[in-house]
Chains A and B, each alone.
Chain A
Amino acid sequence: MTPRLFLHVLSLEARQSMSYRVSFWTNALSILVIGFVIPYYLWQSIYRSNDQATIGGYRFEDMVLYTIIAALLGRVVRGPNLGLAVSNEIYQGELTKYCLYPTHLRLFKYAQHLGALMPHMVLLLLIGVPFIAWLGVGEHWSPWNLAAGAVLLALANGAYFLIGWPIHALAFWADNVWSLAVLLQLGTQLLGGVLLPIDLFPGWAFDALIWTPFPHLFYSPTKVLLGQATASEWAHAALVLAVWNVIIAWAGAWVWRRGEARYTGVGI
């Protein structure tokens, strides 16, 4: 797939996803409820009842800022559920048209996936920046954090797409795989640190998790963007994600090849 075609597909998808304005604003409202309102009141209740200034090293404002930024980044990392479209296309027999396209299917879908991130990126700026301005970022914050965070975000986004790929390829065998996609989303919300920072987990769980891709999907990019991670923590996260991306990409391609051999092009 040529870079020009990749960018063209990306741009088409971005324009299409920005055209649904009602969805955009309802998404924004939903992020505010999930990412801000619920965690705000939950943590306020906990901090008040315990009379503690910090929990796990987090002040109340740090916790609120972490949860809203993690929720926003979560949307950017997960992106649209295009994988679900792939499994539907397999199930409905619509994959046939892609078999005829002179392009690499996974790259084509990834270009669409990136294009459809546009509304989430706009929301990140529209909601995230005012919150950062209001609550302030870590004392060690610098523009370097923005660049380092963007690198992690790109790796995390790729990892989430790649993890989803073999799951949706299971549609070659199973009739309905949407529940596995939900499973991935639910699992990564806790293990990735969207629901609460993973340094609140018991020590043994934290030590084990940091070698998996999950905390580096949401927790590490959030900490880096907020200036709360060291250079070595960033390097660890980037390396773990890069290695897992290679492994998952290989596994996904293997599952896809085996599934494609079974594909008959007959839909339901």
Chain B
Amino acid sequence: MWRYARLYVHFLRFSFSKALEFRVDFFFRVVMDGVFYLITLGFFGILFQHTKDLAGWDIDQVLIFVASVFFVDAVHMTVVANNLWAFPDFVNKGQLDYYLIRPVAPLFFLTLREFAANSFLNLFIAIGILTWSFWRYPGELGIGPIALHVVLLLVGVYLHTLLYLVFLIPVFWLQHAEGSRSLFFGIELLAERPHRIYQGALKRILLSVIPFAVLISQPTYLLFEGATLAGLGHIVLVTAGLSVATYVFWRIGLRAYSSASS
């Protein structure tokens, strides 16, 4: 465990020195995420000009939900996104070999090697918006439920990473990841809306099979309605199930990998 922690410190050091080489990119990434925040807030702001309620939430509750979306997105962009973006290339060019032969878990290397220092500032902005949304909330939330909410959002980041991997692993057979990646980017938008707007089979699928509703929406409902044992148990069960399923899928994918020729 300590070996992995030390290794991650090295990853951080390399990533920060690399980010300082690309200063303009650093600025562009900050602007890009800033605009994403403005657009999302603007979108919900305009919606609430025409309604007072969205899936049972008022504007203050939706603001906490939206700020939670920003937080999960910022952690993902900072810690994981760059690594998984490069993953299909590693498979196609045979560079996965370097990760497979090292005495470290390949998935640890593949998902965490590059820390996007240029997105790090955005993480602070996202934390600021989340804190502000809690502060301005007219009701009483309490420190304990807020802390639990943040923990559940971090679980959401982990689930998001697993889901992204599931959509990228087919590159072992398809050679092209563009289609499945764009599908993932499309489907992940389902997580950026409160899951109670969905109904029937779709809602059940989003809560279990492809659990985008468990990333942000479910923890936010638990924050407002109180965390129940059943609600938390559901998140634990989904997390464990998806972890096992992703690992098995990854092992099956590796069997199809034949270095540079794949």
Contacts and interface: CB of A to CB of B under 8 A. Distances in A.
A45 B28 contact: no
Contacts of B60: none
B137 interface: no
Contacts of A44: 197
Interface stretch (A176-184, A210-218, A227-235): A176-184
Contacts of A174: 24-25, 28
B195 to A, nearest CB: 10
A176 B22 contact: yes
Contact of A26 (B54, B179, B202): B179
B179 A179 contact: no
The prevalent SS among residues of A at the interface is helix
A30 B192 CA distance: 15
B46 A26 contact: no
A195 interface: yes
B49 A200 contact: yes
Contacts of A196: 43, 46-47
Interface residues of A, number: 41
Interface in B35-80: 35-36, 39, 42-43, 46-47, 49-55
The prevalent SS among residues of B at the interface is helix
Nearest to A25: B179
Interface in A43-59: 44-46, 49-50, 55-56
Contacts of A33: 186-187, 189-190
Given A182-B32, A201-B46, A202-B49, A45 B39 contact: no
B50 A31 contact: no
A34 B183 CA distance: 10
A55 B21 CA distance: 50
A42 B193 contact: yes
B197 A177 contact: no
A199 B183 CA distance: 29
B39 A189 contact: yes
A201 B47 CA distance: 9
Contact of B43 (A22, A25, A49, A195): A195
A183 B35 contact: yes
A122 interface: no
Interface of B: 21-22, 24-25, 28-29, 31-32, 35-36, 39, 42-43, 46-47, 49-55, 174, 176, 178-180, 182-183, 185-187, 189-190, 193, 196-199, 202
Contacts of B39: 186-187, 189-190, 195
B176 A23 contact: yes
Given A29-B183, A50-B52, A179 B36 contact: no
A207 interface: no
Given A55-B50, A189-B39, A22 B179 contact: yes
Nearest to A35: B186
A37 B190 contact: yes
Nearest to A175: B22
Interface in A6-38: 20, 22-27, 29-31, 33-34, 37-38
A41 interface: yes
A254 interface: no
Given A26-B183, A41-B198, 17 more contacts: A24-B179, A26-B179, A27-B179, A29-B183, A30-B185, A30-B186, A42-B197, A45-B55, A45-B197, A46-B54, A49-B53, A50-B51, A176-B25, A176-B28, A179-B28, A190-B39, A190-B43
Contact of A173 (B24, B54, B187): B24
Contacts of A202: 46, 49
B27 to A, nearest CB: 9
A191 B31 CA distance: 17
Given A38-B189, A176-B22, A26 B182 contact: yes
B36 A186 contact: yes
A20 B177 CA distance: 11
Contacts of A50: 50-53
B190 A38 contact: yes
Contacts of A45: 54-55, 196-197
